[in-house]
């Protein structure tokens, strides 16, 4: 978590510099080429909200944080699937940069970057419309950046954004006046000026590959985090809380129902996001997310940082990079025991106050922060593949000692000394055309687990299911 906090503001500065230097250009395309399709392993990815729409009840998904990065945050409002087209309506929390004539607003999309040891989510190609106070402002989009999706290796270790961040270009709208986007692991859409009260409608095209069963849930009441770690712009408050109350990090034992394979964790945002750049006072008052983790049973070992509501495997988690120094690939555990709560310094329901920066908050405010309660819910899921078109690929997550062989090219997969991809049932790799979502939703036969732990990936690099080791 400490490394994630440190890197959040660094990327933002890079984006601002890129905004100033950008030249208009077309929308880049990051479709899989033959080299990218032949990766020998993939890092784990979260199962996207896109694939839960129509499978998970709307009241479970509503208000879920489905994207969080330096471009801000997206929260789910509503969605629907019609054939291969999925429409997602979101509430947008942006981030601001510059001042005066250079003031600008950053808006994200459904792709999720992989910062430090957190998991990415790949978004399929699609379009986006953006609204301010209910009025469309899509035509006013200025610049854009798309982090490539696809089946590719990371280029950095977990002290950075692990995947390429893409180039900043001018926005070119479709004939229908929408912002088009390629397959991506995150994006930034830039508007001039400071924009507020934003919403967006996003449409993507993807087959329906999976069916989801809800097997139960547990709701826990948690409190703000008090303890070590990077504190961003509110170190004054963090120090006051530690002096007054000591350390605190709530953790909850899990009672996992039979048949559950995945977890979907939902939670409110923190109202004060401390990892920001100028204009600091404006950005601090915008909500954000934090990290939650799965803990190993009867152990202090915890998983990598998870920062959004996505379906994640319960019975396989890489260990936190801060607990795995010197490893090329993060060690993993398969015995989930507890859920570690969000590491929020400021709880939901407490507004930003300038004293949080200076460390001069009143005892009454400190007590309010200490006593405030929030709720987080872990939903237990089972996922079944119902359509072909996915490939099974072994999972690895890079550790602090990992060095990329592929920093300048994605064509050197043969140099990686790792187990080869194990095609299911010994069949050759085959990319099928898009499958209509109205096909019968019967689960496909159980897979051969030889060579796994694995994920089931579509050609875009989206992970949709999980295969445990034999």
The whole-number average pLDDT for the span 220-228 is: 98
User: Confidence class of residue 411 from pLDDT cuts 50, 70 and 90?
Assistant: very low
Structure tokens given for 366: 């400190």
Residue 427 has a pLDDT of 32
> How many whole angstroms separate alpha carbon 303 and alpha carbon 296?
8
Percent of the chain with pLDDT over 90: 79
Out of 12-26, 301-315, 442-456, pick the least confident.
12-26
Given a cut of 90, whether residue 93 has pLDDT beyond it is: yes
d(CA 416, CA 39): 9
Interatomic CA distance for residues 281 and 12, integer angstroms = 16
Confidence of residue 358 (pLDDT cuts 50, 70, 90): very high
Q: What's the confidence (pLDDT) of residue 38?
A: 81
User: Is the pLDDT reported for residue 253 higher than 50?
Assistant: yes
Report yes or no: 77 and 90 within 8 Å, Cβ to Cβ.
yes
pLDDT at res. 50: 98
Q: What pLDDT was estimated at residue 403?
A: 83
CA distance readout (Å), 56 to 210, 337, 390: 12, 24, 21
Spatial separation of the C-alpha atoms in residues 76 and 83, rounded to whole Å:
20
Q: In the prediction, which pLDDT does 417 show? A: 30
Say if CB 406 and CB 153 are below 8 A apart: yes
Residue with the larger pLDDT of the pair 448 and 327: 327
* pLDDT at site 226: 98
**221 pLDDT more than 60:** yes
Q: What is the pLDDT of residue 9?
A: 47
pLDDT band, very low/low/confident/very high, at 133 (cuts 50, 70, 90): very high
Structure tokens at 281: 């006072």
As a whole number of angstroms, the distance between CA 120 and CA 57 comes to 24
Q: Residue 254: its pLDDT value, please?
A: 99
Q: What is the pLDDT of residue 450?
A: 87
For the ranges 71-80, 387-396, 425-434, which has the lowest average pLDDT? 425-434
Residue 37: pLDDT band (50, 70, 90) is low
Q: Which residue has the higher pLDDT, 442 or 310?
A: 310
230, two tokens: 């990077």
Cα end-to-end span (Å), the chain: 32
Output the pLDDT for position 404.
73
pLDDT number for residue 441:
52
Question: Which residue reads 């547990």 in tokens?
Answer: 218
Q: What is the mean pLDDT of residues 26-42?
A: 54
pTM for the structure as a whole: 0.87
Residues 363-390 pLDDT 10s: 999 999 999 999 999 999 999 999 999 9
Give the pLDDT confidence of 415-429 residue by residue, as tens digits: 333 322 233 333 332
Whether the per-residue pLDDT at 26 is higher than 60: the answer is no
CB 191 within 8 A of CB 151: no
Domain ranges of the chain: 2-33+46-207, 212-382
pLDDT at residue 17, rounded to an integer = 46
Average pLDDT, the chain: 87
Q: In 3D, which of 145, 134, 203, 194 has the Cα closest to residue 174?
A: 203
Q: Are 151 and 224 in contact (CB under 8 A)?
A: no
Predicted confidence at residue 310, as pLDDT, reads 99
Residue 190 has pLDDT above 60, yes or no: yes
For 304-321, the DSSP string reads --B-S--BEESS-EEBPG
Is the pLDDT at 3 greater than 70? The verdict is: no
Strands (E) across 206-341 are located at: 210-222, 251-253, 262-266, 293-296, 312-313, 317-318, 332-333, 336-340
Q: Is residue 446 over pLDDT 80?
A: no
């Amino acid at each position: 978590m400490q490394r994630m906090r440190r890197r959040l503001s660094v990327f933002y500065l890079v984006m601002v510099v890129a905004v100033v230097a950008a030249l208009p250009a077309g929308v880049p395309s990051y479709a899989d080429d033959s080299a990218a399709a032949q990766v020998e392993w993939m890092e784990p990815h979260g199962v996207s909200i896109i694939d839960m729409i129509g499978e998970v009840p709307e009241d479970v998904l509503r208000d879920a944080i489905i994207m969080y990065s330096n471009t801000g945050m997206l929260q789910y409002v509503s969605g629907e699937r019609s054939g291969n087209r999925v429409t997602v309506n979101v509430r947008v929390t942006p981030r601001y940069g510059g001042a005066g004539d250079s003031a600008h607003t950053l808006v994200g999309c459904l792709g999720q970057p992989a910062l430090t040891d957190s998991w990415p989510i790949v978004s399929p190609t699609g379009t986006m419309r953006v609204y301010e106070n209910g009025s469309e402002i899509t035509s006013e989009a200025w610049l854009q950046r798309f982090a490539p999706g696809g089946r590719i290796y990371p280029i950095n270790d977990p002290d950075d954004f692990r995947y390429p961040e893409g180039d900043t270009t001018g926005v070119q709208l479709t004939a229908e006046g929408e912002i088009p986007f390629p397959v991506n692991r995150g994006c930034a859409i830039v508007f001039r000026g400071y924009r507020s009260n934003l919403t967006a409608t996003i449409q993507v095209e993807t087959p329906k590959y999976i069916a989801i069963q809800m097997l139960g849930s547990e709701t826990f009441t948690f409190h703000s985090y008090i303890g070590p770690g990077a504190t961003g712009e509110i170190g004054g408050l963090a120090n006051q809380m530690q002096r007054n109350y000591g350390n605190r990090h709530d953790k909850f034992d899990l009672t996992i129902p039979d048949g559950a394979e995945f977890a979907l964790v939902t939670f409110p945002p923190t109202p004060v996001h401390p990892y920001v750049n100028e204009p600091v006072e404006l950005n601090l008052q915008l909500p954000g997310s934090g990290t939650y983790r799965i803990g190993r049973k009867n152990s202090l070992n915890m998983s990598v940082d998870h920062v959004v509501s996505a379906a994640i495997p319960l019975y396989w988690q890489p260990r936190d990079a801060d607990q795995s120094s010197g490893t090329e690939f993060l060690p993993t555990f398969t015995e989930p025991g507890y859920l570690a709560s969000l590491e929020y310094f400021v709880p939901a329901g407490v507004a930003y106050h300038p004293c949080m920066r200076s460390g001069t908050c009143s005892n009454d405010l400190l007590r309010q922060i200490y006593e405030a309660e929030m709720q987080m819910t872990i939903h237990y899921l089972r996922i079944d593949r119902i359509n072909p078109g996915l490939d099974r690929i072994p999972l690895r997550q890079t550790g602090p000692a990992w060095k990329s062989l592929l920093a300048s090219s994605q064509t050197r997969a043969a140099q990686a000394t790792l187990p080869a991809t194990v095609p299911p049932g010994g069949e050759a790799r085959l990319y099928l055309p898009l499958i209509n979502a109205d096909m019968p939703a019967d689960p496909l036969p159980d897979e051969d687990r030889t060579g796994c732990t694995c994920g089931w990936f579509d050609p875009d690099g989206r992970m949709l299911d999980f295969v445990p080791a034999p």
